[in-house]
Every structure is written in structure tokens, then in C-alpha cells.
């Protein structure tokens, strides 16, 4: 009996969209009578050419040039580039994004949840998720953050917590989770997929920090391969794509392809910058062809760094030692979560020293840790510089625990009276914070770190919350969101 014909594998050596840019510039430089106004003339703003190179003008092509495909109605090279990306990462479909995972979170929430419908969201979510709530009118069913006792941040969401919320709210229409988070810890996404699909609702995953996960067998599996319905990734964070370039993967039909495509065209610029889309096509080709080798080296460098850092007195670098508790199912070893407080410095102070002494900039720093991301772009030399600088700063003797005054008990999640969208568009007035007890907040109050909203529009301000905010202010913790950043006043719903 003849064998069934094998589906032909897409040719990952191709980068059709990026190649269309190259070939247009090489062979058919447009004699342009259309936008962009610079008309590919690198002499127009020489200071930009000096800084960015001539390509910033000559490569700034758009769909007015017949050989260039259009992101919002792709029929040629961009359509093929997205298909190649989907095939490389195992998704049914991939959308290229020009406004980061930010727009991916917004679009997937808009596509999956209608005005007034409920969505489960762990409170420790990026602000784009909150923007998605405001845009969609969804009612969040939050999962209270369960702070990890060593890292002092909620690192993952527990399956049982999601199940409990689903049981309490059987009318929930979607679940949105962030995994991995900034610190590289992953939730049990496979369990979450199963849970969501048992109830026939979609699992939406913010995998902004996990674009590399699809390309190495020793890394935790991406939510895409677990069958999550929509997964957004920022290849600009962990691969070679340019800042703002991201992609959104779709599996199955619980989230509508047509609606998502329509929403992305609404939310994003009608003039997509080909620097972003071209970089996505090129980064996908690189990873599809060489991802395993590149990440072999990355993993080796990260492991070398982790071992060296653990040997520096005063420092500790977390790793898979935290797996198995607090919902943590897996760990991305390319993240170095370095606890520094035994050196007498906070994470933020330590990060400032790294910059001052070694021009070293880190992914993120909180009170306890600095977080460094190792990627395919790193070299042994850079890792050695990091280790040397860490050693140098750690060896200075300083006394005391810099976080001794920090009280960790945050108030419980506030009561939600109006959903974020309803509250955003209601009239508000300003009252003194100390007189705001019982009022419904009209703005966001987000301390950094850790960046988890204390209050969202539509939530009741309790006496406990006022005390806590005042305590944060005394401790000079930065608060973002409110109009009055000193928070002597707060906006409340009229």
C-alpha cells in the first residue's frame, strides 16, 4: 500500500518578508511620490543617518511600494512569513505585532471576553493586561498574589487557585495567565490548558518573556506546545528582534482568528514599521535554523554565571531550587535571579552600583534581587564582566539588612464594585487619601516594586489600604498610576 503523502515542511531557510525588503532596496529603489516623507533619502536628516545608519531611511519601506506586503491585509511575503513562524513554533497561526506583547494582551482579551463577562486573572499581571480589561469591559476575577517567601514576589499561579475561582464563578469565559514571569518562573500551563478546556473556555497566556522557549528541548515547554489557545511572546525581549516586535500565536478555534485579525488592525498603527516585521521574519529564520546551537551556548553561559555567582560570598542565584512550591512548575535557566541583600544593599542599590562601576545594566531590580537575562547575543567575555562586577561590589563590607524595615503583609484584594472599564469612564473627584476610606477608587495605584496594582479603578479603598499606602510613601517606594503621585489625594468615583 502506498504511504500517505507526508505534509511538506515549510522551508525555514526562507525569510520572505525580510528578503523582499533586501531585494527591493537592492534592485528597485522606489522613485517615491508617497509617504514616508523622507522618501528614503538618507541625506535628509544627516544626524539620524550618523547615529542609526543610512538603512534607517533607505530600509523604511512600506506597502505603497508594490513589492512590499501589508501587515493588516497580508497576501504575499508577510502572510508566508507568519505561516513560517507558526510552523517553527507549532502554532496554528501567528500574527506579527508592532506594538509589543502589550497589544497582544489587549487584543486577546478583547477577542475572548465581551463587555461584562468574567475572566480569571492573577493579580500580578502586566499593565497591558489591565489595559485589556479597560478596553474590553471584562470583569476580572482576580487571583490574589501569593508572595514567594524567598523572592518576595508571586512567582507563579497555583492550579488549585484557578480551579477554586472557576468553581466559584462557573460563568467565567476565559483564563489569562502570565508565564514565565519577569523572574523566569513558570506555572503549570499544561494543567491550566486541561482545566480551561475541560470547561471549554480558552487559556490566554502572556509569554512575553518566553519567545526562546520554543527553540530548545532543555528549556521549559512553551505554552504554545501545551496547546494554550492564544499565546503572546516578545521576541524583542529574548531573541534578536527589534524593540516593539512581538508575535501572537493562536491554536484551535476558541479564540476567533478573524476577530483577532480585525482587532489587531484596529489597535495597531495603520503604518506598520517594516523594521519590526522584518526583524521578526529574520529572527524566526535564525532560530528555526540555528536556535538549538545558539541556545546550547546561552544555557552554558547562564549555567557558568549561576555557578560563579553562587560562589560569591553575600550573593545567591536562584534556579530550579524553587520548583515544586508556590505553583512553580518550571524554571527558565537563562534568567539569573540574584539575591544581593546579604551585601547590605537592596537590589536597586546593587543595580545602581553595577551601572556606576561597570556600565552593566540589568533586566530588573527589586528590593532583594537583581535580575539579569542571558540571551543568544551574550558572549563569555560579557558573562565574565558581569561576574567580576558582582564580585567587586559584593566584597565591599557593609552592615545590616537593607530590607529590615520592609513589612511584607499587603492588604487583601480590595472589593470590586465596578469593573475597570465602568470605573474608568465614570466622573471622579479628588479627596484627601486619609478621608478616602469607603470610597471607590477611580485610578490605578501601583507600587514599584513589585508592580502589582494595590488599587484599580472600581475598587473600594479600605482603612487598611490607606495605612499601607501611607507606609509605602514613608518608605519612599515609588507609586505609579495616580494623578497625584504623592498620594496626599486620590481620585474617587462620584
Ligand X SMILES: Cc1ncc(COP(=O)(O)O)c(C=O)c1O
What residues line the site for ligand X (CB under 6 A)?
100-102, 105, 126, 128, 178, 182, 206, 208, 234, 246
Question: Least CB distance from residue 404 to ligand X, whole Å?
Answer: 29
Nearest residue relative to ligand X (C-beta): 100
Give 233 or 286: the residue with its C-beta nearer to ligand X.
233
Return phi, psi of residue 190, to 5°: -65, -40
Distance CA 315, CA 361 (A): 18
Question: Least CB distance from residue 451 to ligand X, whole Å?
Answer: 9
Question: Least CB distance from residue 42 to ligand X, whole Å?
Answer: 29
> Measured on CA atoms in the order 69, 70, 71, 74, is the torsion positive or negative?
negative
Which residue matches cell numbers 495603520?
Answer: 270
Give 351 or 442: the residue with its C-beta nearer to ligand X.
351
Question: Least CB distance from residue 134 to ligand X, whole Å?
Answer: 15
Q: How far is CA 370 from CA 14, 211, 375, 487, in A?
A: 39, 21, 16, 28
Residue 135: exposed, middle, or buried by beta-carbon count in 10 A (0-12, 13-18, 19+)?
middle
Question: Least CB distance from residue 449 to ligand X, whole Å?
Answer: 13
Question: Least CB distance from residue 180 to ligand X, whole Å?
Answer: 8
The counts of H helices and E strands in the chain are: 16, 17
Residue 183, C-beta contacts closer than 8 angstroms, at least 6 positions apart: 151, 153, 155, 318, 335, 337, 369, 371
Give 181 or 341: the residue with its C-beta nearer to ligand X.
181
Quote the DSSP letter at residue 53: -
Continuous segment of H or E residues that includes residue 48? helix 46-52
Give 16 or 481: the residue with its C-beta nearer to ligand X.
481
Question: Least CB distance from residue 136 to ligand X, whole Å?
Answer: 16
Q: Are 366 and 347 in contact (CB under 8 A)?
A: yes
Q: Are 21 and 278 in contact (CB under 8 A)?
A: yes
For the chain, first and last CA: distance in Å? 76
Q: Are 145 and 154 in contact (CB under 8 A)?
A: yes
Give 235 or 458: the residue with its C-beta nearer to ligand X.
235
Q: Are 223 and 231 in contact (CB under 8 A)?
A: yes
Question: Least CB distance from residue 128 to ligand X, whole Å?
Answer: 5
Residue 365, C-beta contacts closer than 8 angstroms, at least 6 positions apart: 346, 347, 348, 350, 351, 371
Question: Least CB distance from residue 108 to ligand X, whole Å?
Answer: 11
Give 82 or 128: the residue with its C-beta nearer to ligand X.
128
Question: Least CB distance from residue 202 to ligand X, whole Å?
Answer: 18
Residue 315, C-beta contacts closer than 8 angstroms, at least 6 positions apart: 309, 338, 339, 340, 342, 343, 390, 394
Give 272 or 402: the residue with its C-beta nearer to ligand X.
272
Distance CA 188, CA 198 (A): 16
Give 230 or 433: the residue with its C-beta nearer to ligand X.
230
Give 94 or 234: the residue with its C-beta nearer to ligand X.
234
Give 204 or 492: the residue with its C-beta nearer to ligand X.
204
Amino acid at each position: 500500500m502506498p504511504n500517505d503523502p507526508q505534509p511538506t515542511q515549510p522551508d525555514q531557510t526562507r525569510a520572505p518578508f525580510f528578503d523582499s525588503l533586501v531585494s527591493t532596496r537592492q534592485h528597485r529603489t522606489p522613485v517615491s511620490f508617497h509617504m514616508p516623507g523622507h522618501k528614503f533619502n538618507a541625506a535628509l536628516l544627516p544626524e539620524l543617518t550618523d547615529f542609526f545608519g543610512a538603512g534607517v531611511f533607505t530600509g523604511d519601506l512600506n506597502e505603497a511600494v508594490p513589492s512590499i506586503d501589508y501587515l493588516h491585509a497580508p497576501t504575499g511575503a508577510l502572510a508566508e512569513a507568519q505561516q513560517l513562524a507558526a510552523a517553527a513554533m507549532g502554532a496554528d497561526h501567528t500574527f506579527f505585532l508592532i506594538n509589543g506583547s502589550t497589544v497582544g494582551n489587549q487584543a486577546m482579551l478583547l477577542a475572548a471576553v465581551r463587555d461584562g463577562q468574567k475572566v480569571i486573572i492573577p493579580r500580578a499581571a502586566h499593565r497591558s493586561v489591565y489595559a485589556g480589561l479597560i478596553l474590553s469591559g471584562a470583569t476580572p476575577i482576580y487571583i490574589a498574589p501569593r508572595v514567594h517567601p524567598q523572592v518576595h514576589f508571586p512567582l507563579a499561579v497555583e492550579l488549585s487557585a484557578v480551579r477554586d475561582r472557576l468553581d466559584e464563578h462557573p460563568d467565567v469565559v476565559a483564563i489569562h495567565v502570565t508565564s514565565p514571569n519577569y523572574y523566569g518562573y513558570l506555572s503549570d500551563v499544561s494543567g491550566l490548558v486541561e482545566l480551561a478546556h475541560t470547561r471549554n473556555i480558552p487559556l490566554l497566556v502572556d509569554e512575553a518573556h518566553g519567545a526562546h522557549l520554543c527553540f530548545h528541548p532543555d528549556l521549559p515547554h512553551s505554552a504554545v506546545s501545551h496547546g494554550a489557545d492564544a499565546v503572546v511572546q516578545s521576541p524583542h525581549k529574548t531573541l534578536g528582534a527589534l524593540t516593539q516586535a512581538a508575535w501572537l500565536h493562536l491554536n484551535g478555534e476558541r479564540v476567533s482568528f478573524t476577530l483577532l485579525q480585525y482587532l489587531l488592525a484596529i489597535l495597531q498603527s495603520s503604518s506598520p514599521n517594516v523594521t519590526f516585521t522584518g526583524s521578526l521574519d529574520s529572527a524566526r529564520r535564525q532560530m528555526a535554523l540555528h536556535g538549538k546551537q545558539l541556545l546550547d551556548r546561552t544555557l552554558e553561559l547562564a549555567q557558568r554565571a549561576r555557578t560563579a555567582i553562587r560562589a560569591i560570598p553575600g550573593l545567591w542565584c536562584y534556579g530550579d531550587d524553587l520548583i515544586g512550591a508556590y505553583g512553580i512548575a518550571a524554571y527558565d535557566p537563562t534568567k539569573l535571579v540574584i539575591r544581593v541583600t546579604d551585601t547590605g544593599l537592596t537590589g536597586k542599590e546593587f543595580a545602581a552600583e553595577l551601572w556606576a562601576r561597570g556600565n552593566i545594566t540589568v533586566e530588573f531590580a527589586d528590593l532583594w534581587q537583581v535580575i539579569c537575562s542571558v540571551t543568544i547575543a551574550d558572549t563569555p567575555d560579557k558573562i565574565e564582566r558581569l561576574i567580576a562586577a558582582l564580585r567587586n561590589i559584593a566584597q565591599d563590607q557593609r552592615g545590616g539588612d537593607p530590607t529590615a524595615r520592609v513589612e511584607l503583609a499587603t492588604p487583601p484584594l480590595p472589593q470590586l464594585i465596578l469593573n475597570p472599564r465602568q470605573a474608568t469612564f465614570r466622573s471622579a473627584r479628588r479627596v484627601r487619601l486619609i478621608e478616602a476610606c469607603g470610597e471607590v477608587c477611580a485610578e490605578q495605584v501601583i507600587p514599584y516594586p513589585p508592580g502589582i496594582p494595590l488599587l484599580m479603578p472600581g475598587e473600594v479603598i479600605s482603612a487598611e489600604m490607606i495605612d499601607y499606602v501611607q507606609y509605602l510613601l514613608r518608605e519612599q517606594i515609588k507609586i505609579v498610576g495616580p494623578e497625584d503621585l504623592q498620594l496626599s489625594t486620590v481620585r474617587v468615583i462620584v
